[in-house]
Amino acid sequence: MDQAFINWVIGFTGTIFGILLKIVWDAIVILKKDLSTLENKIHDDFVRREDFKDVVSDMKSEMRNGFGTVNSTLALIFKKLDSKEDK
């Protein structure tokens, strides 16, 4: 084989390999940008754990108060029903 042909094959192969590496590198850069955008968006869209725990504890205390009121009302109703029995 001629040395010039070998040089052309190596040059062509190197060029193709370089183009493929450039395409992959550009894709990685785009993915990094998208990932940083998503990381910033996560903080806007989702509730933090501490905030969620605070809201749930507030809801629990309000529900306890509400059920306490319902229980006292039911106790009063049952007490009145018991006093109105046919004697």
- What is the chain's mean pLDDT, rounded? 89
Token pair listed for 43:
């903080």
Q: Does one domain contain both 56 and 82?
A: yes
- Give the CA dihedral 44, 49, 50, 56, nearest 10 degrees: 110
Amino acid 64 reads R
Q: Which residue has the tokens 């309000």?
A: 62
**Range of the structural domain that residue 80 is part of:** 47-87
- The Cα 55–Cα 57 span in angstroms is 5
Q: Does one domain contain both 42 and 4?
A: yes
**Segment 10-21, tens digit of pLDDT:** 999 999 999 999
Q: Half-sphere exposure of 43 toward its Cβ, with a 13 Å CA cutoff?
A: 4
Q: Does one domain contain both 13 and 38?
A: yes
- The Cα 38–Cα 45 span in angstroms is 10
Q: Does one domain contain both 2 and 42?
A: yes
**Segment 57-77, tens digit of pLDDT:** 999 999 999 998 999 999 998
Q: Does one domain contain both 4 and 28?
A: yes
Number of domains in the chain: 2
